[in-house]
Amino acid sequence: MLNQVLQAIDARRQGSLSDLKDFLRIPSVSTKPEHAPDLQRCAQWLAAKLRDAKLDAKVLPTGGHPVVLAKNEHRPGRPTVLFYGHYDVQPPEPLEKWVTPPFDPNVRKDENGYDAVYARGAVDDKGQVWAHVEAVTQWQQAGGVPVNLTMLIEREEEIGSDNLERFVRENKELLQADLAVISDTGQFARGKPAITYGLRGLVYCEVFITGPGHDLHSGMYGGAVPNPANVLCELLATLHDKDGRVNLPGFYDDVKPLTPEERADWAKLPFDEQAYLKSLNLTALSGEKGYTTLERAWGRPTCDINGLTSGYQGHGAKTIIPSAASAKVSMRLVPSQDPQKIVTIFERTLAERCPKNIKIEFARHGLASAVLVPREGKAMQLAAEAVQAGFGAPPTLIREGGSIPVVALIKTVLGIDTLLIGFGLADDRVHSPNEKFDLDALHSGTRTAAVLYEKLSQMTR
Ligand code: BES
Ligand code: ZN
């Protein structure tokens, strides 16, 4: 049966890509309220595809944010797998940097001559979700997915999955499974597929500084009044010390140090720093003193300004003291930092450091815990075999720096581990203009997913 499924996947490469392009045409940007109808349409589109595959698929509300939930016909005695993905995408801006429009998927060769599909959401996460939908569809046509499968595809991963928590808590029975599977991460490099065993967590804050009631002439008032832009810059400049460490009291208190074994494993990975620099158009890297690049990106907590706004942004000069300034700041967390504790430390410390003649306020945009999943065990072994079959190479075990809030939720609420099998490549420009998904990765990923569902049917319940 598996051979028949794999042959069907090979034969339908073009058809699968064409369906994925339809998926990518829907501008399902979760952070912008005006895209709510597109998110609705995207959910319906996906549910229809899953119904075509003879799954029982529903679009369910979660506090107004619809998730797609689909199940196959129950197979007694088989293990249950919960597949999770997201159909929302990041905002495409800046639009002028896109070679072809973000929601008009374009197939062309990348800088290294490999075929790829370019669109917002190509790899994060529509293309990877699609690999599973295609694999499941082919299994269904060949007689049925060999496990009990629940597919949960949500719409607000990119904004922190806030409403999903309640949905998972309230639908525990519906979601109960032996194992979860997510494809929303990456390969180590081309030809080096990976299984990810750790992700960083996230705290995303916004800081608002308000001073004078309106913009002021910088000649008339400059030097005599507090300048919100100056104050914001001074505050932000206190966030790191000279060794690149985050300068917030208590920030590192709960950090679980990297073990010598883990550091030794990572040091052996064929990470090419020169190629990394070149691909980023940089001449040198920076970060916390005493750690390698992989350690800094996968295993150490950070604090980064993501957006900065104040004063005149138009062409030429305008001499003003702006009345307000704001910044968006993210902190990536590692085990066992508590997002609640970190957000409190951040807000309290900045409020203390802020001059008292100016107002400081905060908003929170998403909290997620870091996760580690077991590196050994039956599921990991079966997943490794699936990757070997799908990509023709064994997986490298890696950690990654991004966050997927649901993984911690799945562990705490449903009590199960998640297999993170991602198909992305480092140069896919995730969250950036000209995001792409490699067509070989799409195909190998689809094959991996197909093999994975068969392998997982061997799991004991
Ligand atoms: N697919 C990413 C997560 C990711 C990125 C994992 C890179 C591994 C490597 C996911 O869609 C994402 O971007 N998540 C957000 C979550 C946040 C808003 C809570 C992130 O990491 O910024
Ligand atoms: Zn993302």
Say if ligand 1 is within 6 A of residue 198 CB. no
Q: How far is the CA of 51 from the centre of ligand 1 (A)?
A: 28
CA dihedral (44, 50, 51, 55) positive or negative: negative
The confidence score (pLDDT) of residue 421 equals 98
Q: How far is the CA of 201 from the centre of ligand 1 (A)?
A: 9
CB of residue 158 inside a 6 A radius of ligand 1: yes
Q: Determine the pLDDT at residue 62.
A: 83
* pLDDT value of residue 61: 87
Please give the structure tokens belonging to residue 39. 């998110």
State the average pLDDT over residues 417-421: 98
SS3 23: helix
Whole-number Å distance, alpha carbon 194 to ligand 1 midpoint, is 16
Ion ligand 2 nearby residues (CB, 5 A)? 124
Whole-angstrom Cα distance, residue 295 to residue 297? 6
What are the structure tokens assigned to 247, written together?
């300068």
Residue whose entry in the numeric block shows the structure tokens 């790191």: 240
Peptide bond into 336 cis (omega under 30): yes
What is the rounded distance in angstroms from the CA atom of residue 344 to the CA atom of residue 413?
24
339 ligand 1 Cβ < 6 A: no
- Minimum-distance ligand to the CA of 198? 1
Name the residue at shortest CA distance from atom 6 of ligand 1: 402
**Residue type present at position 282:** L
Residue to probe by mutation, ligand 1, list 30, 89, 123, 157, most atoms within 8 Å of CB? 157
Determine whether the shortest distance from the Cβ of 157 to ligand 1 is under 6 A: yes
Q: Are residues 413 and 172 in contact, defined by beta-carbon separation less than 8 angstroms?
A: yes
Where does the pLDDT of residue 77 fall: very low under 50, low under 70, confident under 90, or very high at 90 and above? very high
Task: Find out whether the beta carbon of 92 lies less than 6 Å from any atom of ligand 1.
Answer: no
What tokens appear for 208 in the block? 């608002």
Between the CA of 87 and the centroid of ligand 1 the distance, in Å, is 13
- Note the pLDDT tens digit of each residue in 90-140: 999 999 999 999 999 999 999 999 999 999 999 999 999 999 999 999 999
Distance 460 CA to ligand 1 centre (A): 31
Q: Which of 187, 195, 401, 424 is nearest to 298 (CA)?
A: 401
Nearest to 286, CA basis, from 346, 242, 250: 242
Ligand 1 pocket check: which of 404, 409, 421, 432 to mutate, most ligand atoms within 8 Å of Cβ? 404
> What Rg, from alpha-carbon coordinates, does the chain have?
23
pLDDT, average across residues 296-320: 98
Cβ(185)–Cβ(422) below 8 Å: yes
pLDDT for residue 307 is more than 80: yes
Cα of 402 vs centre of ligand 1, distance in Å, is: 4
Identify the residue whose C-alpha is closest to ligand 1 atom 4.
402
- In percent, how much of the chain has pLDDT > 70? 100
Are the C-beta atoms of residues 23 and 45 closer than 8 Å to each other?
yes
The residue assigned the tokens 């922190």 is 160
For a pocket test of ligand 1, which of 124, 125, 187, 432 has the largest count of ligand atoms closer than 8 A to its C-beta? 124
- Is residue 230 exposed (0-12), middle (13-18) or buried (19+ Cβ within 10 Å)? middle
Confidence (pLDDT) at 113: 98
Per-residue pLDDT, 235: 98
Distance, in Å, from the CA atom of 229 to the CA atom of 232, rounded to the nearest integer, reads: 5
pLDDT of residue 180: 98
* Residue 402 CB–ligand 1 contact under 6 Å: yes
User: Token match 């490549």: residue?
Assistant: 425
SS3 378: helix
Average pLDDT, the chain: 97
Give the amino acid at 455: K
Supply the pLDDT for residue 460.
82
| 158 Cα nearest atom in ligand 1 | 18
Entry pTM:
0.96
Q: Which two tokens stand for residue 40?
A: 């609705």
Point out the ligand 1 atom lying closest to the alpha carbon of residue 90. 13
For ligand 2, the distance from its centroid to the CA atom of residue 217, given in whole angstroms, is 41
CA distance 423 to 440: 10
What is the mean pLDDT of the segment spanning 212-230? 98
Given a cut of 90, whether residue 145 has pLDDT beyond it is yes
pLDDT tops 90 at residue 389: yes
Q: Which alpha helices (DSSP H) does 369-438 contain, by range?
A: 378-391, 406-409
Which residue ranges form the domains of the chain, and what is each CATH number?
2-199+370-456 (3.40.630.10), 201-255+301-368 (3.30.70.360)
Ligand 1 neighbourhood includes 19 CB (under 6 angstroms): no
For ligand 1, say whether the CB of 154 is within 6 Å of any of its atoms: no
| Per-residue pLDDT at 366 | 86
Confidence at residue 147, expressed as pLDDT on a 0 to 100 scale:
98
Residue 319 Cα to ligand 1 midpoint, Å, equals: 39
Give residue 372's pLDDT.
97
pLDDT tens-digit readout, 146-176: 999 999 999 999 998 989 999 999 999 999 9
Decide if pLDDT at 251 tops 90: yes
Tell me how far apart the alpha carbons of residues 335 and 419 are, in angstroms, rounded to a whole number.
18
DSSP 165-194: HHHHHHTHHHH--SEEEE--SB-SBTTB-E
